Structure formats: structure tokens, C-alpha cells
A and B are shown apart, each in its own frame.
Chain A
Amino acid sequence: MASDALTDYDFWKNYWLSKEGLIFPIPNQYTFTKELAELIESKKINGILDVIPSYHTLTIIYDITLFLSPTQNVNDQLQLFSTQLLSEYENNALTINKNEETIHQVPVCYENIFALDMENISKTNQISCQAIIQLHTSKQYDVYSIGFLPGFTYMGSVDEKIKIARHPKPRNEVAAGSVGIAGLQTGIYPTNSPGGWQIIGKTPWKIFDPDPNKLAKFKVGDQVQFYAIGKEEFDSLNEHI
């Protein structure tokens, strides 16, 4: 059943059907959600309003009046749709280009002024702040999902040694650009907002721009690697103005 490991697929044994949406279970391979979403998008199916990939699910929001026929059983239609889609995916799986991943090198200032919870993680996990920064910057993270807030980027997995639970009570305001840890996930706050993740630094990058030609900086399936910068470099790169 459910656990906080990032690759727990048993939980979604049965896909969930609802009035408004359809959730797929996915095979044990995280880029599946992204590729399946792309497959659906490419088919330009009438009545599909949103295709939302997340860690282990892909949710489709549809307009039933366009997406489904009124004369056939709803469950049968959804079953057929998902079966056909999955088999199409499996048939094409080898030809889908997996080399299109984008790797972002993202600057983060881990200095005290931004790293509100660094001391706390250091104490709780018995690890030096230097080691936390070293571990956090040593891996390439997968972008699993964008959501919660416009552009909020969910990534994983961080090293077990810097795993830390969310704050039991969220802060009233976390600054835009703040980089945090929640369990094995790491994420970036796109805008000032309430939030419960443990903050270890801040990126000078603006990761969400309401300009319709820009919007979210990252997409599901991208790779992110953080690198440490000092306060001076942060100031020179700062886009949060």
C-alpha cells in the first residue's frame, strides 16, 4: 500500500474512474507519464481538456459530452480508451525518442539568509550543513510533476541522509524561488505562498512567468541539477524583482 517512497506503484492498482476524470496506473518507469501524455496530446482527441502527469498517475480531464458517446456504456468506453492507448504506447515504446530530456543547471544560494531550515535539518539528521549542500547538488533530479501552484516543481529523489518531513504547520509565506525538501522530494516555490517544505536555499531564477509565451520553466521529464552560488552571484542573477 502507500508509502512515501517515490516509486510505489502498488497503491494505484486499480485505475480510478470519476465523473470528470480518468486516472491511469503506470508501469514502473517514471517517464511513462510524460510519454503517455505526449501520445495523448499528439492524437488531438476531441473533448480532452487537460492531461496531467504526476509521479505515478496520469489524469485526464474530459468533457463527457464531447469525449464519450451517450449510447454506449461509460465504463466500457473508458476501459476501451485506456486499453487501446496503453497498447499503442507499448507498440511504440521502442520508437519513442528518450533522448530529448532537457537538463537544467540551476543556481541556488544556500546561505543562511535564504536557508531557513538548514540548521533544523542539520540537527535532526545529524549532518553538517556543508554535507547537506554537497548531497543536494550531487544528483540530477527528475521533474515528476508541476502543480500545487502554477510552476511549482516536484523533483526527486534526494539522498536518504537529507530526507526530512514537512513542517507540521506550514509557514504563512515562503519566498518565490525558495528550494525545499519534503520527504525524498525536492521542489522550488514559483511565487510567494504559504508552504510547509523545509527550505534550504533560493534560486535567483524566476521559474514561472505569467507571460503566455513563457509560463513554467520546467516540464515533467526534465532533469534538474543544482549548483551552489554565493549571495553576490545570487544578486547579479536575481530575477525576482
Chain B
Amino acid sequence: MSIKILHKGLADSIQDIGRYGFQHLGIQPNGCMDLLSASLANSILQNDIHTPVIELHFPSSQIQFLEDGIICITGANFVPVLNEKSIALYKPILVKKNDVLSMLQPLEGSIAYVGIKAVYDSPKWLNSHSFNTAKLKTEDVLPFSMHPSNPIAMKTLNENLNHALIEQVHNNIFSNTNPIRILPGPAWQDVNENALYELINTPFTISAQRNRMGYPLTGPKLNLNIPNAYLSSAVTRGTLQLLPSGDLIVLMADHQTIGGYANLGQIILVDLPRFAQMKTGISFKFSVANLENAQTLFRTMYATF
């Protein structure tokens, strides 16, 4: 028994890469909101890619380690402190029994990941540890069996750090102000040209009502040329839905499996971690991508994991 939640955060949870193969029964994939940062934490710790991580939003849970171990924090910079002493992101960090990890302020990004050099001793549900309703609560004890945290293990991890990759992933997510790229969806032809012009040329912001199911956007109202009466069909993470009110919402990790709103497009997967990490109220624009490029970019980005 190794990690305890001393004080719960706003919406923290245990997540892995999610659950596929059950969407035809309406069972959501769930999984990390920013898969790239989460995978990077596991990569730095040389964990299996399926190892669950702790996903932290802000205000974040305060976490106590009940054994010695090695952790790695990636994603948002919430100014992590271990027993009030500041610690680095994107590096293996040694923790001692009873150490307390807290997050002080949301400096950069929206979602932080705590990777743990450990095995998670809990049963999966349908091949995944991600459960969309299971927010971490105060007093929860998470059954991570820590990997021995001896100096040799730390040395090996440090020697194997891929600094170029870490910098590339971090910059791509947090220092990149390019438009968020979308592929046109089935309802693309159902909005008028003026609305498409606004979609591409007007800045949007993510509204404060954001959660793991979806990010509602604030921006110009877009209208359909036809009555909003679509038959339900499958949606996925990154799907851009146009609501009858004229507002947009982007579906995220806990999205429902099928939806009946106008499906305007799809944020390409390489831009989804960056979108997931954007702070509330920050302006961004959309641009139109093509499938060939999107897939090449994806291969390049994920080839390393």
C-alpha cells in the first residue's frame, strides 16, 4: 500500500491509455487527457506504457508516499513541492516514506501527471484502470507497489533521459502558439461560408465549464444552414460539435460514444495534448489540416514511445 491522498483535489483520477474495444456497447475509452505528457512520464521512468499515472487538475490533491520510491512529474507546471521543497519536472525524483507532494499554483498548462516507478496492484475493468467516475477522494490509498528506489536505479534512469525528446514534447505542448488543426467533419458542408470563415479566423477560448468529458468554447456563434436534426453517430476525443445554441464543444477523454449534434470536425491527435493543456480564457485559432499530414505528424511524434 503505497500512496495516500491527504486532501482531494478538484477532479483528480488514476488514468492509463484508456479502454478500447467496447465502444459499440456505449463504454467510453476514458484514459489520460494529455496522453503525450503521461506517456513521457512513463517513458522517463522506463515503465510499461500501460502503467497508470495520477492525473492532477488544479487545485490538485495533496499526496503522501507511504514507501520509498521514484516518481516523475510531467505536463502542466503547477509548481510541485515535496515537503515544501521545490522539485523539477521531467526528471526522476526520489521520494521517501511519508514525503508529501503538493502543487502550489497553475503556472503553465492545465493538467499535471505524476508517474510512479511501480506496478499498480488493482484489478482492471475491461483492460483499463481508467474509470470515468472515479475521482480521487481524501483518504484514498492507491495500491502502487513501488520499484526499489536505490541509487543505481536513479542513476540508470538519469543516464537514459532523452533530453531532446523531453524538450520537443514540452515545447510542442506548451510553447507552441500555432492554430489548433482540424479535419473537416460530416457537418462541414452544413454551415454557411460565413460561419466557416468565422471558425477559422476568429479567436476562441476554452470556457471555465471544461471537464474531462468536454471543453465548451467561447467565441462567435455559428449557425447551421439546415435544421439541427442529425441521427446519432460515433464521436471520439477531439470531435468538434456544434450545439443548437451556435456554441462549440470539443469532446475530450470521457466523451460519450455516440452523439447527435452537428459534427463539424476533428482536432488532429498531435494537437490534442496541446489543446487539452490550454488554460481557460486564452485565445487560440483553428486551422484546417489534411489527413495525410496529420498522420505523418502523428507517426513522427509517437514513434519515440
Residues of chain B with a CB closer than 8 A to A75's CB = 291-292
State whether the Cβ of B69 lies closer than 8 Å to any Cβ in chain A. no
**CB <8 Å contact, B266 and A2:** no
**CB <8 Å contact, A19 and B295:** yes
Residues of chain B with a CB closer than 8 A to A57's CB = 231, 233-234
* Of the residues A54, A154, A215, contact of B234 by C-beta under 8 Å: A54
Query: Which of B185, B190, B227, B295 counts the most chain A CB atoms within 10 A?
Result: B295
Which residues of A from 129 to 151 have beta carbons under 8 Å from B?
145-151
State whether the Cβ of A61 lies closer than 8 Å to any Cβ in chain B. yes
Residues of chain A with a CB closer than 8 A to B282's CB = none
Residues of chain A with a CB closer than 8 A to B126's CB = 212
Residues of chain B with a CB closer than 8 A to A11's CB = 186, 230-231
**CB <8 Å contact, A55 and B233:** yes
* Of the residues B23, B230, B237, contact of A52 by C-beta under 8 Å: B23
**CB <8 Å contact, B291 and A19:** yes
Residues of chain A with a CB closer than 8 A to B237's CB = 20
* Of the residues A2, A17, A23, A64, contact of B229 by C-beta under 8 Å: A2
**CB <8 Å contact, B233 and A150:** no
Whole-angstrom distance between the Cβ of A234 and the nearest chain B Cβ: 24
**CB <8 Å contact, B298 and A19:** yes
Residues of chain B with a CB closer than 8 A to A49's CB = 20-21
Q: Which residue of A lies closest to B228 (CB)?
A: A2
The verdict on A59 contacting B234 (CB below 8 Å), with A11-B186, A19-B294, A65-B302 known, is yes
Bound Cα distance from A55 to B258, whole angstroms: 10
**CB <8 Å contact, B26 and A65:** no
**CB <8 Å contact, A37 and B236:** no
Mark B213-245 against chain A: 1 for CB-CB distance below 8 A, else 0: 000000000000011111111101110000000
State whether the Cβ of B183 lies closer than 8 Å to any Cβ in chain A. yes
State whether the Cβ of B256 lies closer than 8 Å to any Cβ in chain A. yes
**CB <8 Å contact, A56 and B24:** no
| Stretch from A66-74, A89-97, A119-127 forming part of the interface with B | A66-74
**CB <8 Å contact, A2 and B226:** yes
Residues of chain B with a CB closer than 8 A to A53's CB = 24
**CB <8 Å contact, B292 and A64:** no
Bound Cα distance from A212 to B269, whole angstroms: 29
State whether the Cβ of B74 lies closer than 8 Å to any Cβ in chain A. no
Whole-angstrom distance between the Cβ of B112 and the nearest chain A Cβ: 25
**CB <8 Å contact, B26 and A148:** yes
**CB <8 Å contact, A151 and B26:** yes
Query: Which of B230, B259, B266, B296 counts the most chain A CB atoms within 10 A?
Result: B230
**CB <8 Å contact, A50 and B266:** no
Q: Which residue of B lies closest to A54 (CB)?
A: B233
* Of the residues B29, B258, B298, B303, contact of A147 by C-beta under 8 Å: B258
Residues of chain A with a CB closer than 8 A to B230's CB = 2, 11
Bound Cα distance from A152 to B27, whole angstroms: 10
State whether the Cβ of A205 lies closer than 8 Å to any Cβ in chain B. no
9 pairs of A and B residues whose beta carbons are closest in the complex: A59-B234, A147-B258, A49-B20, A147-B257, A52-B234, A57-B233, A18-B266, A4-B229, A147-B26
A interface with B by C-beta (< 8 Å): 1-4, 6, 8, 11-12, 14, 16-21, 23, 37, 49-57, 59, 61, 64-65, 68, 70, 73-75, 145-152, 154, 183, 190, 208, 210, 212, 215-216, 219-220
Q: A50-B20, A54-B258, A152-B26 are in contact. List 19 more A-B contacts (CB 8 A).
A: A11-B186, A16-B186, A16-B263, A17-B183, A18-B183, A19-B291, A20-B269, A49-B20, A50-B21, A55-B231, A57-B233, A65-B303, A70-B296, A70-B299, A145-B258, A148-B232, A148-B259, A208-B26, A215-B25
